[in-house]
Amino acid sequence: MKQDERILKTKKAIIDSLIILINQKGFNNIKVTDLTRQAKISRGTFYIHYLDKFDLLDKVESKLMLDIEDLLNKFMPEELNHSYQKEITDAPSAVVIKALNYFYTNRKLLAALLSEKGDPFFVGKTKKLFNKVVNKYFNDMSGKVRYNPEVPKDYIKELMMDRLMDIVIFWLKKDNPEKPMDIAKIIIASQRIAPHQLISFDTES
């Protein structure tokens, strides 16, 4: 086995162990010894790659954030260009599907980090990244976006972001989450349908 492949295999074993241990005992209660025992590696091998469990967490989360930001920045220009020309449809956009595919592939890690036993700051970090991308989207669409005058612009953005984040987090935490295309359709419907239209009551019975 080549050295690069061995390093990747070792890091994967450590990250897989991190996921298992977060779910079992919570990040705060994890020790490096727990990680090395679960990953079946020596402490020396662990310290070749990470300073401690906090360095491991930071590197794991930074990689996730960079991947997501790179994904969105790579496909957003194309999506913006199409948005100027196409009518609003129920078809999920390419950028949404690619982002959700990434989330789905990494769902076990994301769910662990987002859980009560994970990193309490990870939701905030994720929301900050989404806000950055959404604000760039609105800035690029300047002059083409119309806001409802009854609600201030900053509240509209916050409401849109919270609804999206809540759906994605709920989806990732499910034991058997829907496929990316299915959750994409749910997200689109949730953005199109007003909250008071989501349920109705039978008053005739």
**Domain range summary for the chain, segments of one domain joined by +:** 1-50, 59-197
Same fold, 1-50 and 59-197: no
pLDDT tens sequence across 141-171: 666 667 788 888 888 778 877 888 888 889 9
Measured distance CA(155)–CA(166) in Å, rounded? 16
Residues contacting 106, CB < 8 A, separation 6+: 64
Measured distance CA(27)–CA(119) in Å, rounded? 7
> Does the pTM of the predicted model rise above 0.85?
no
Fold of 1-50: Arc Repressor Mutant, subunit A (1.10.10)
Measured distance CA(55)–CA(58) in Å, rounded? 5
6-26: burial string, b at 16+ Cβ within 10 Å, e else: eeeebbebbbebbbbbbeeee
pLDDT tens sequence across 54-102: 999 999 999 999 998 888 777 655 555 544 444 445 566 777 788 899 9
Question: For 59-197, which CATH class?
Answer: mainly alpha
